[in-house]
Amino acid sequence: MSCSGSGGSASCTSIGNVSVVTGQGTSLAAATDIAIDTGGGLATVNILRIKLKWVSGTGTATLTPRLYNLSGAAAGSINMQFAGTATAVASLFDVACVGVVFQTDTAGRFFLEPGPDAGADNVVNYEISYEVV
């Protein structure tokens, strides 16, 4: 079992077949994504929970988190697998997911876009629980 995130620091733990990746993304702009590596080639993942907390930066109002199965994919594209609601930066985005099942890219990665409303210097803590199915 291996999982990691890029774009800052990250760690991963495993509880049975559920992996929990936690980390901090830095230097984030509106469309910056963070790669989450499931540890192998093409995989199907079931996202169980997504938590985000804005730490600092010029994003002053909201985060709108999204998940993709392709790096650099655009909001509203076929590669967008999950779209969260705009959440005030003072609040914790915490969503238990049902039915967020999709294939990763060929390297076994999926991508978290925290989606701050402004700036390119945002710092966000994240925790994603998922299982490879």
Residue extents of the structural domains in the chain: 4-132
- Indicate if the pLDDT at residue 3 is higher than 70: no
- What pLDDT is recorded for position 8? 58
pLDDT value for 98: 96
Q: 3-class DSSP state for residue 46?
A: strand
Fold exhibited by the domain 4-132: Jelly Rolls (2.60.120)
Q: C-alpha 24: how far from its chain's center?
A: 11
Express each pLDDT in 75-110 by its tens digit: 999 999 999 999 999 999 999 999 999 999 999 999
DSSP helix/strand/coil, 18: strand
Q: Over range 49-76, report the average pLDDT.
A: 96
